[in-house]
């Protein structure tokens, strides 16, 4: 069972903003300072969107942003586009392991 | 250009063995933290194993004692030896790189395209 909880699905209309929460369910997650987010389109490998809570790799759209409050990290996508329809995973490093959230399917209506 | 290309997947019977390869280019396997991550059909991502640049290895509890991660610097290739395979090991297996400037493997910046392993009789 994942220590990181995400909603199974979210949806939004083009142009809207949505947020995907990722909540740590174990007390040993610690400061939750090293959350990252990945986007995965069907049949493709995951792609890094956000690292260390709120940093974007070069080439990732400014529409993607990350934040955290306590034991919950959030990915926000602004100005939704059809191409954003994908599965989004949060991830956290702890003690020589990586935990992934269960994934959130984003549907653009 | 950084590239990771997996191979070696296929159909194997329960209890059997398989060795996956991940040929990399654009960086050196021995100087980077590398990992295997898998994804069962229709399911989420599951971290499997790390190999650090100092050679230390770490495994998920679900594969500990059955899987072995290794690398060959002369071939610039990462491997995953999988023994005592179970139906629950059926998944697409990805190799992934940790950015070389990190001293701790917080995240992955490059992934391969994946190779499918099916464990079935």
Cα–Cα distance, B73 to A77 (Å, whole number)? 40
Residue B74's pLDDT is what?
96
**pLDDT tens digit sequence for B19-33:** 999 999 999 999 999
pLDDT computed for residue A71 by the predictor: 85
* Chain B residues with CB within 8 Å of chain A CB: 35, 37, 44-47, 50, 58, 60, 94, 104-109, 111-114
Distance CA(B14)–CA(B49), nearest Å, equals 21
pLDDT at A28 over 70: no
Q: Which of B43, B53, B76, B71 is nearest to B62 (CA)?
A: B43
Q: Would you state the pLDDT for residue A7?
A: 97
How many Cβ atoms from other residues are within 10 Å of residue A69's Cβ? 9
- Phi and psi at B31, nearest 5°, equal -105, 5
Per-residue pLDDT band for B51 (boundaries 50, 70, 90) equals very high
Whether pLDDT at A31 is above 70: no
What's the pLDDT score for residue B89?
98
Q: Is residue A30 predicted with pLDDT exceeding 80?
A: no
Q: Which of B42, B41, B57, B54 is nearest to B90 (CA)?
A: B41
Which of B3, B39, B44 best tests the A interface by mutation, with the highest count of A CBs <10 A? B44
Q: Which range is least confidently modeled, A25-29, A64-68, A99-103?
A: A25-29
- Predicted local distance difference test score (pLDDT) of residue A33: 75
* Whether the predicted pLDDT of B55 surpasses 80: yes
Please report the pLDDT score of residue A69 as a whole number: 87
User: Closest to A96 (Cβ–Cβ): which among B44, B58, B111?
Assistant: B58
Identify the pLDDT of residue A70.
83
Cα radius of gyration rounded to whole Å, chain B = 13
pLDDT at position A2: 57
DSSP-derived letter for residue B14 is: T
Q: For residue B89, what are its two tokens?
A: 């090991």
> In angstroms, rounded to a whole number, what is the distance separating the alpha carbons of residues A18 and A80?
8
Spell out which chain A residues touch chain B, with contact meaning CB-CB distance below 8 angstroms: 2, 34, 36, 38, 40, 44-48, 51-52, 57, 87, 89, 91, 93, 96-103
Residue B78 has pLDDT above 70, yes or no: yes
Per CB-CB distance under 8 Å, the chain B contacts of A51 are: 106-107
Say if residue A55's pLDDT is above 60: yes
Q: What is the pLDDT of residue A84?
A: 97
Mean pLDDT across the stretch B8-25? Answer: 97
Q: Among the listed ranges A96-100, B37-41, B114-118, which one has the minimum average pLDDT value?
A: A96-100
Rounded-to-integer distance, Cα B21 and Cα B11, Å = 16
Overall average pLDDT of the B55-61 stretch? 96
């Amino acid at each position: 069972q994942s220590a990181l909880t995400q909603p199974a699905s979210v949806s939004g209309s083009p142009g809207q903003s949505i947020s995907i929460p990722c909540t740590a369910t174990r007390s040993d997650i610690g400061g939750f300072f090293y959350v990252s987010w990945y986007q995965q389109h069907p049949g493709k490998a995951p792609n890094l969107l956000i690292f260390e809570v709120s940093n974007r790799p070069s080439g990732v759209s400014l529409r993607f942003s990350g934040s955290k409050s306590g034991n919950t990290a959030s990915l926000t996508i602004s100005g939704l586009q059809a191409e954003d329809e994908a599965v989004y995973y949060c991830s956290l490093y702890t003690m020589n392991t990586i935990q992934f959230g269960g994934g959130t399917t984003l549907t653009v209506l | 250009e950084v590239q990771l290309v997996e191979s070696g997947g296929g159909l194997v019977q329960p209890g059997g063995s398989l060795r996956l390869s991940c040929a990399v280019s654009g960086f050196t396997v021995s100087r980077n933290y590398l990992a295997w991550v898998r994804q069962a059909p229709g399911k989420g991502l599951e971290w499997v194993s790390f190999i650090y640049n100092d050679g230390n290895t770490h495994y998920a509890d679900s594969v500990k004692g059955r899987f072995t991660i290794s690398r060959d610097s002369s071939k610039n290739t990462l491997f995953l030896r999988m023994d005592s395979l179970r139906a629950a090991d059926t998944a697409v297996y990805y190799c992934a790189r940790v950015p070389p400037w990190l001293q701790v493997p917080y995240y992955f910046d490059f992934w391969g395209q994946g190779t499918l392993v099916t464990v079935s009789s």
